Chains A and B, each alone.
Chain A
């Protein structure tokens, strides 16, 4: 092969990287297939949204239609007034998620810092202890936790549920914070000390600011886990007024006297999806980078 041919290939490889295609037609085909698959993945959510803005009768009609015949907020009105009221459930979910986020940050940030910046005996075994929630499925722990919580008044409490949701996020969050602090050059902290910061000030003014993106990431993951979690909420929460959004949805699905109100269910599903998708769309950078560094690096 001539040098010219090789360098031509090099240029092509460099510009296309890991692509499937060689020529322009294939390039377009790959793009078209990808867009088609993306549309297919998006379809269930779009159809659910359309169903949610149908009239109640239209949403339960059989055979069903893909598009609403007329626009109506009837389904949203129904979900707003569902039993204790949508806002009760949303605010319960937000409260639990908020407490879980605070717990995760308060526990994982210092733990990550301790692991990254200090050497002490049994450091790695203790790190493994913090990874235990990965090894012991929380589904198995719910029975003893429920009994313990009942004794100390944490059953049926939002704080109790937040504890379990925080526990689920501890391994990932500690891991991420440890990597985050380790990535900060020691020299930066030493410079701060020379400039007259004590260890506390160094931590708050220098290190903490540099790992801020990591803190956003663990907060996002804690929110999404907590907002979506069903089993622990189902077991722990027995009072209607303490239910979170996922339990409310299961209730809507069960319906009254066996008849499911499909339109109201779709409105509820859309309400449950919106915060997660909003976070994903607007803070994608934090979300995906966190996922990758948590699982791959």
Chain B
């Protein structure tokens, strides 16, 4: 009897959160699945159309272009973030005041909103008034103010530069924590054995921080696959619709073209892709100690 009571008490504490998640995640998700089989639009409709939306996705070259662009963006930015973050972590991993200060500053953009930072960089990249452009000019790296957003490749790199600025500190902080948690004896032993700095990095730091590297890679990759704000603000999908991402295309289909049924089917495809990554992420984060 007592056991049973205890059971109930635990559930009672969890209940509000469970109800909340059911109402605002689970039920909408079921609705999303349902809507993806209808021709619902913001203007009405909602007839069951079977797999029509899904076969339409198959033939929708714009969606595949958006997905391919999203994948390209993810494939380009993830290594930059990982390598950049790890190098910054190696540089600042010691707890010296000057390095702690540098770490604090490098992490600062992480707390700024992605929308805000994208607007900031849009200005820095501007062909007329952009100071990033002017700095490149003053350093004689280029000989005239660059136009960043009329070519899809330049636009992609502009977005990558701005997002790396905003989030590279996130990986750095997690890597610093992982490197610092390596036991001193291990590093000490390697020093006594006469290992060089880079030998220590490749034989000790990297292998012993693999789990964190995987985790940060996943978090970054998932974030990049869901990219929206940075492109909505900086490129508006242009030039010629070449820089739409999946989320941006879903937003476009659902809320600009009002095709909710179709947008829902697109969302389901995207969710399926994200779920795989997130499942691995949760497994990696799962507490190693028994619950």
Contacts and interface: CB of A to CB of B under 8 A. Distances in A.
B14 A110 contact: yes
Interface string A11-48: 01110111110100000001101110111011011011
B101 interface: yes
Interface stretch (A73-81, A136-144, A190-198, A208-216): A136-144
Contacts of B54: none
B14 A287 contact: no
Interface residues of B, number: 110
Given A139-B250, A249-B119, A120 B278 contact: no
B94 A167 contact: no
A199 B5 CA distance: 13
A141 B32 contact: yes
B129 A61 contact: yes
A42 B17 contact: no
B116 A231 contact: no
Interface in B247-273: 247, 250-251, 254-255, 260, 263-264, 267-268, 270-271
Contact of A17 (B184, B216, B247, B287): B184
Contact of A37 (B102, B124, B255): B102
Given A20-B91, A34-B91, A115 B184 contact: no
Main secondary structure of the interface of A (DSSP, over half): helix
A147 B27 CA distance: 12
B174 A292 contact: yes
Q: Which of B92, B270, B275, B282: most chain A CB closer than 10 A?
A: B92
Contacts of B260: 143, 147
B190 to A, nearest CB: 9
B94 A136 contact: no
Contacts of B188: 9-10, 13-14
Nearest to B22: A129
Interface of A: 1, 6, 9-10, 12-14, 16-20, 22, 30-31, 33-35, 37-39, 41-42, 44-45, 47-48, 51, 59-64, 66, 103, 106-108, 110-111, 113-115, 117-121, 123-124, 126, 128-137, 139-145, 147-148, 163-164, 166-167, 170, 174-175, 179, 199, 224, 227-231, 235, 246, 249-250, 253, 262, 265-266, 269, 272-273, 276-277, 279-280, 284, 287-288, 291-292, 295-297
A246 B20 contact: no
Given A17-B94, A295-B285, 17 more contacts: A17-B180, A17-B184, A19-B94, A19-B96, A34-B91, A35-B101, A37-B91, A45-B112, A48-B120, A64-B129, A120-B6, A120-B11, A133-B25, A144-B31, A147-B260, A262-B123, A292-B177
A135 B104 contact: no
A115 B11 CA distance: 9
A114 B12 contact: yes
Contacts of B191: 9, 12-13
Interface string B103-135: 111111101111110011111101011111010
Interface string B162-184: 00010001100110011110101
Contacts of A1: 192
A249 B115 contact: yes
A160 to B, nearest CB: 10
A111 B173 contact: no
Given A107-B17, A124-B291, A126-B14, A140 B250 contact: yes
A37 B116 contact: no
Contacts of B107: 280, 288
In the complex, the 3 A-B pairs of residues with the closest C-beta atoms, listed nearest first = A118-B10, A228-B113, A114-B13
A144 B261 CA distance: 10
B221 interface: no
Given A20-B90, A30-B91, A140 B32 contact: yes
Interface stretch (B74-82, B148-156, B225-233): B225-233
Nearest to B105: A38
Interface of B: 6-14, 16-18, 20-22, 24-29, 31-32, 35, 88, 90-96, 98-99, 101-109, 111-116, 119-124, 126, 128-132, 134, 145, 165, 169-170, 173-174, 177-180, 182, 184, 187-188, 191-192, 197, 205, 212, 215-216, 219, 226, 228-229, 232-233, 247, 250-251, 254-255, 260, 263-264, 267-268, 270-271, 274-275, 278-279, 281-282, 285, 287, 291
A7 B250 CA distance: 63
A44 B120 contact: yes
A120 B188 CA distance: 45
Contact of B94 (A18, A230, A277, A280): A18
B179 A170 contact: no
Nearest to A123: B10
B129 A276 contact: no
A125 to B, nearest CB: 11
Contact of B28 (A48, A61, A148, A246): A148
Nearest to A133: B25
A274 to B, nearest CB: 10
A16 B94 CA distance: 7
A211 to B, nearest CB: 13
A180 to B, nearest CB: 13
